[in-house]
Chains A and B, each alone.
Chain A
Amino acid sequence: MVEEEVKKKFEAVEEYFINMGPQHPSTHGVLRLLINLKGEIVKDLKPYCGYIHRGIEKMCERNTYPQIIHLTDRLDYLSAHQNNEAVCLLVENALEIEVPERVKYIRTIMSELSRLASHQLWWCVMGMDMGALTTFFYGLRDRERILDIFEENCGGRLILSYNCPGGVMYDIKPDFQKKVKDFLTYFKKKLPEYNELLTGNVIFVERTRGAGYISKEDAISFGVTGPSGRGSGFSCDVRKHCPYSAYDKVQFKEILYSEGDSLARYKVRMDEMLESISIIEQLIDNIPEGDFAVKMKPIIKLPEGEYYQKVESSRGEFGVYVISKGEKNPYRIKFRSPNFANLSALDKMTRNSKIADLVAIMSSIDLVIPDIDR
C-alpha cells in the first residue's frame, strides 16, 4: 500500500534540468553537463564541450614536426611524455630511422614515471571528490618527488617536450638512476598507506561498487580504452598488442577486471601503479651506453602518404593520424583522444543512478578536459 503510494508520487514528480559546470570542483576542467533529473535519479545527461577549444589541429597544419611536439604537451597535460612520444615515433617510423637503445630505455622509464604521476593525481582527486580530503595531501606529497626528477632532467614539471624526432633533447643527469631508485624505495612503503585509506574503506567501497556499470560490448562500441576499458574486461593495452620503445624487453601483466563498475576501474589503476614500479625496476639498472639522439636533417619532410601511430597514455589509446603531401607541414593531422571516447560513454553509465553517484563515476573515468576539446 505504502509502496504504491510512494510510486505514484514519484511518477508525478516533474523532470527538471540542472547544470553541472563549467565551473565546478568535480568536473576537473571546464566541462558543462546538462543533467535531466527526476527527483534524485538521473534520466539523461548531455555534455557540452568547447570551452577550451584552441584549434590545435588547424594550428598544426602550418607548423613543422618538431613544433607540433610542443603542442601535443598541452593536450592531455598529465601524460605529456606519452603524447610527445607518439609524434616522435610516427616521424621515426615514416622516415625509417632506428633510434639507439639508450633512447628507448630512457623514453620507457620517463613514460612509466609519467604514468605513476598521473595515477597519483587521479587517486588524490578521486578521494577528494568523495569527501576524503586527506588523500589529496598524500598523493600530491609523493607526486612532488617525481616532478623534481622531471624538472632536473627535462627542464619542466608538467609540460616536458623532452622527446624530439631522433631521440631526446638532452642526456640524463649522472644522478638520475640513484634518484629514481630512492623514489621507488620510498613509494613502495607508501603504497600500502593508500590502500589502507581508500581501498579497504567501507564507505568508499559501498559508494563505488555497482556504480556506473558498462558491459564489455558497450565499452568496445564506445571506444573506451585504457584503465576504464580494462575495468570491463576489454583487453586493449597498446604496450602488449603493438609494443614500442623498450616494452618488448620487460615482463609485465595486463590488468583486467570484469565487473565493469567504478570499483573495478579503481582497482585497475591501483594495480597498474605496481606494474609501473616493476617495469622501472627492470630497466633502471640496465640503461645501455650510447648516443642520446640521432642526427636529423634540419628540415624534416615526411614522404607522401598516410601514417597512424598509437601509444598507451595514462587514460587510454592516444593516436596520431597524419596525411602528408611531402612537405614540411602535415596536410591534415588528427589526434585520436582517449578522453573523447570515454566521455561519450558517460551518458550510458549514469542512466538511472542517483546524482551523488555521478561524482564517483566521473572521477573513476578520469577525464582531462583539454584533451577532449583540443
Chain B
Amino acid sequence: MTNEQLKERISSLAQDAIFEENKQFLIATISPKDLYSVAKSLKESKDTAFDFLFSLTGVDYDPSLTVVYHLESSTLKHKVVIKAKTEDRLNPSFPSVCDIWFAAELQEREVFDMFGVKFENHPDLRRIFMDEDWQGYPLRKDYKDEVNIIDLIK
C-alpha cells in the first residue's frame, strides 16, 4: 500500500489521527484509546499485514510522554510508524500490545522501567534493567540523580 492508502486506512480506524511524512516513513500520531484497535486491525487485515514490530520506543517530549511503534510487513514490504501520546505524567497508561506482537513483552517492560509508563493487561510488568526497588525513572528529562550522574557543565 502507498502512504496515501495507509493514511486513509488509519483515519478510518482513528478519527483524530495526525499525519506527517518524512523521507523514510509515514508517521501517524493517535490517542491511547484507539491504539489497541488500530494495532489489531493493522496486523490482521490481509492488505496491510504488519506482522513485524521491530522497535518499540519511549520518548519524553516535555510535557508529554510518547510511545513509538515501528511496524513493517514481512510479505508486503511496507512500513509505518505509529505514535501514541499522553499528557499525563503522574499516571501514564497505555493498552498493551503483547498479544498482538510477542516482541512487545520485554520492550514494554523496558519503557516502564525507563519512563514509568504503565501498560494495561501486560502479563508481568516489572522493572527489567534497574533494581526492583529503584525510585525514579532514569530516561525522563527531569530525572535527577546526584550520586550517579555527574553534571560537568553547570
> Interface digits, B141-154 against A, CB 8 Å rule (1 contact, 0 not)?
00000000100000
Whether the pair A319, B129 counts as a contact (CB closer than 8 A) is: no
* B139: chain A residues within 8 A (beta carbon): 57-58
Pick from B24, B70, B103: contact of A341, CB below 8 A. B103
Q: Which residues of B contact A371 (CB under 8 A)?
A: none
Interface residues of B in 124-141 (CB under 8 A from A): 127-131, 138-139
**Contacts of B60 on A, CB cut-off 8 Å?**
332
Residues of chain A having any CB pair with chain B under 8 Å: 49-50, 53, 55, 57-58, 217-218, 220-223, 225, 234-236, 241, 305-308, 317, 319, 321, 323, 332, 334, 336, 340-341, 343-345, 348, 373
Tell me, in angstroms, the Cα distance from A345 to B102 when the chains sit together: 8
Q: Does B74 contact A234, Cβ atoms closer than 8 Å?
A: yes
Instruction: Give the residue of A53, A234, A344 whose beta carbon is less than 8 angstroms from that of B102.
Output: A344
B55 CB contacts on chain A under 8 angstroms: 308, 319, 321, 334, 336
What are 18 of the A-B contact pairs (CB < 8 Å)? A50-B128, A50-B130, A53-B129, A55-B138, A57-B139, A220-B51, A221-B51, A222-B103, A223-B101, A306-B25, A306-B27, A308-B70, A323-B59, A334-B55, A334-B57, A336-B55, A344-B102, A344-B103
B6: interface (CB < 8 Å)? no
Taking a contact as CB atoms under 8 Å apart, the answer to whether A344 and B54 are in contact is no
Interface of A is mostly: mixed
A319 in complex: contacting residue of B51, B54, B102, B107, CB < 8 Å: B54
**Docked complex Cα distance between A235 and B52 (Å):** 12
Q: Are A223 and B129 in contact (CB under 8 A)?
A: no
Nearest residue, chain B, Cβ from A241: B77
Given A319-B55, A321-B55, A344 and B27 contact (CB-CB distance below 8 Å): no
Extra contacts, 9 of them, besides A57-B139, A217-B51, A222-B102 (Cβ < 8 A), are: A218-B102, A221-B102, A235-B74, A306-B27, A317-B54, A321-B70, A336-B54, A344-B103, A348-B102
B88–chain A nearest beta-carbon distance, Å: 20
Give the chain B neighbours of A340 by CB distance below 8 A. Answer: 106-107
A174 to B109 CA separation, bound complex (whole angstroms) = 50
CB distance from B153 to the nearest CB of A (A): 8
Cβ–Cβ < 8 Å partners of A305 in chain B: 22
Query: Which residue of B27, B77, B107 has the most chain A CB atoms within 10 A of its CB atom?
Result: B107
Contact of B22 among A217, A221, A223, A306 (CB under 8 A): A306
B105 CB within 8 Å of chain A: yes
CB <8 Å contact, A344 and B130: no
Give Cα A217–Cα B55 distance, bound, in whole angstroms: 18
Interface residues of B in 51-100 (CB under 8 A from A): 51-55, 57, 59-60, 68, 70, 74, 77
Q: Are B129 and A49 touching (Cβ within 8 A)? A: yes
Report yes or no: A373 in contact with B129, Cβ–Cβ below 8 A.
yes
- 9 smallest CB-CB distances across A and B, nearest first, come from A223-B103, A50-B129, A53-B129, A221-B102, A344-B106, A336-B55, A334-B57, A222-B102, A332-B59
- The answer, among B25, B77, B131, B138, for a CB contact under 8 Å with A308, is B25
